[in-house]
Structure formats: C-alpha cells, structure tokens
Amino acid sequence: METAQTADMTRHWVGYPHRPGNQQTLNVKFNDDDAGPVGLTSRVALWQYSPGASTAGPQKRPRILLIHGFRGDHHGMQLIVDALPEFEVFVPDLPGFGKTSPLVDAQGSRVEHTVARYAGFVGALAQQLDLNEHDVLMGHSFGTIVTAAHTAQNPQAWAKLVLTAPISNHIFRGRLLAGAAVVELYYTISRLLPESAGNAFLRSRTVLKITNLTMRAERDPRVTEYVRDQHAQHFGGYSDRQTLLEAYAASSRHTVLDYAADLQLPVLLLPGSGDQLSTEAGRRALRDALPQGKLEVIRGAGHLVHYEKPAQIARAIRRWVS
C-alpha cells in the first residue's frame, strides 16, 4: 500500500508525484498443451495507469505492459510508473502473487507454474487488453525471463521489449554459485518443513533483512527505508507455498539468454551496474546474443534498480520508445 508519507518520501529520488492506478479484475484464459482443450484460467488483479492530462501531446505514444519480478507484485513497479506519467501503463499481479489467483485447469485444480505457463498468461492478458505491435512489453527480474519466453514465441506482437535487471547469468555457475547455493538451501528447507513452519520461514523478517542488505547498492537512507517498507508489506504476499516454490524453480533455472536468439525485435537491457544476480560478462553476452539488443547500464544501482533508480530507468525508456 502506498501511503501519503511514502509517496512524498519517494519524490526525493524519483522526481515525480505518486500516480494512482485504477484496479481491474479480469478472468484470463489461455490454451496449454498439457491442460486439455479448455486450457488454464486465472482471476487477475490488474492496475491501469492513465496518462496525466498535463502530459498529453499530439503524438500517439505506445502503451506499456509491465511484468514484475519473483516474490513481488504490482507495487514493486510503482516508482517506474510514477516516472513515466505520459504513458498509459498496465501492471498485473502475476498468478499466485499479490491479488491474482494461481493458474487452474478446467476442473479448478491448480497446475504447475512454469516459465512457459507464465509466458502464456502474459500473451493472453495482452490480447485481452488489446495491446498490439505498436505497444511495448517490459519485464523486471523474473519478469524478464517470462516476457522473453513470451516474446520469443510472438516476436511480431510488440514494438519493443524492455528488460530491467535482466537475468543474464545462470546463477549456479561461476562467482554467483555461492550465493545461489544459499538461496537454494533456503527454499529446500522451506519445502521440507511442515506447511505452517515452511510459510513462517518463507516470510521470516530475518531473511527479509538479509535480502535487503545484499540486494541493493544505493545507500541513501530514504531509499533504504522505502525498500524495507515495501518488502515488509509485499514480500510475503504469495498465494500458497507450492506456487511460490514452483515460481522459484522457474526463476532460478532459466535466463533471458535461453530465448535471446528468437527475440526478433528491438530489446533494451537496463541492469544496475552493481547487480548482484549478474556479471558484466554475462550482461555483454546477453546483449551480443540479441539480434537487436542495446545495453544501457544504470550506475549506482544493484538488482533492486526499480527501487533505486526509477527516474533513470524512465529516461532510458523514454529515449528508447520515442
């Protein structure tokens, strides 16, 4: 929840006032080869942000569909939305996170949440919103994998693709392995514990504090407090343990590089210079693997670049889509 106090606090580094969204609830359905002819369904919470009257101009701007990262929801994208007041932006909660229900089959039974199914969800949602080849798709962190997987199958569906904090490295290799092993152990223990204890461990404030310390680069105390507040409110907002663990497996076993060769459209990569989940070599390799890729590094930011440098991200997007 965005309070007046936190909204005013963010003006210090965002430079734009808080932008309220219009919440909608949609029933999204899409076909899935393993789910039978009826396919899969999710009841989706979506926020639509209309452009401000003062930003209206003669040119028709593309609309933006923005997909959040693992364990987040639409709140995590708020500062980027604030910094793009002239654009119409749509931000859903992904299935199993925030206020969006997990994916279910025709019998109402939950199904495994894979990258392919999240990608199918994005495509179905975009179609329902009547977004098209003139519009822009954007993903953050795990959302970069999901949007890349979707776009690799539908490269003509979008004008451009923007990826903030892109997952460019396989985390179980090289210098990222040690940190990834600790995270893997955390989720393994969470799965082995009884349901209530597992959820308590997954929502542990101690783990949350460690995450906040290790995932950011910005040291401004106001940014630090905002990140702490947002994670405290929304980090535990998943629907159930099984869906969360499946989403973790999807996020940790894939990278954007898996889909890069098939991304036949302009792609903008916006990693933080100190991103803890990627390496400089990995980011360059991803850029080089993209047929139409551009890499613009956001200085002074880590993997939480969406909190730390939203105004810089917005400026890069504005230049990219204009």
Write down the pLDDT at residue 3.
Answer: 54
Please state the φ and ψ torsions of residue 98, each to the nearest 5 degrees.
Answer: 60, -125
Least Cα distance to 139 among 119, 124, 110, 154 occurs for: 119
Residue 95 confidence (pLDDT) above 70 = yes
In angstroms, rounded to a whole number, what is the distance separating the alpha carbons of residues 97 and 71? Answer: 7
Q: pLDDT digit string (tens) for 190-223?
A: 999 999 999 999 999 888 888 777 776 667 888 8
pLDDT score, position 220: 83
pLDDT higher than threshold 70 for residue 55:
no
Q: Taking 60 as the threshold, does the pLDDT of residue 1 lie above it?
A: no
Give the mean model confidence (pLDDT) for residues 235-255: 95
pTM of the model: 0.94
What is the rounded CA–CA span in Å between residue 95 and residue 252?
17
From CA 31, how far away is CA 39, in angstroms rounded? 4
Mean pLDDT of the chain: 92
- CB distance 268 to 242 below 8 Å: no
Q: What would the pLDDT profile of 176-197 be if each residue is shown by its tens digit?
A: 999 999 999 999 999 999 999 9
Tokens of 300: 């002074």
- pLDDT at 60 (0 to 100): 84
* pLDDT tens per residue, range 111-169: 999 999 999 999 999 999 999 999 999 999 999 999 999 999 998 899 999 999 999 99
Strands 22-30 and 40-49: antiparallel
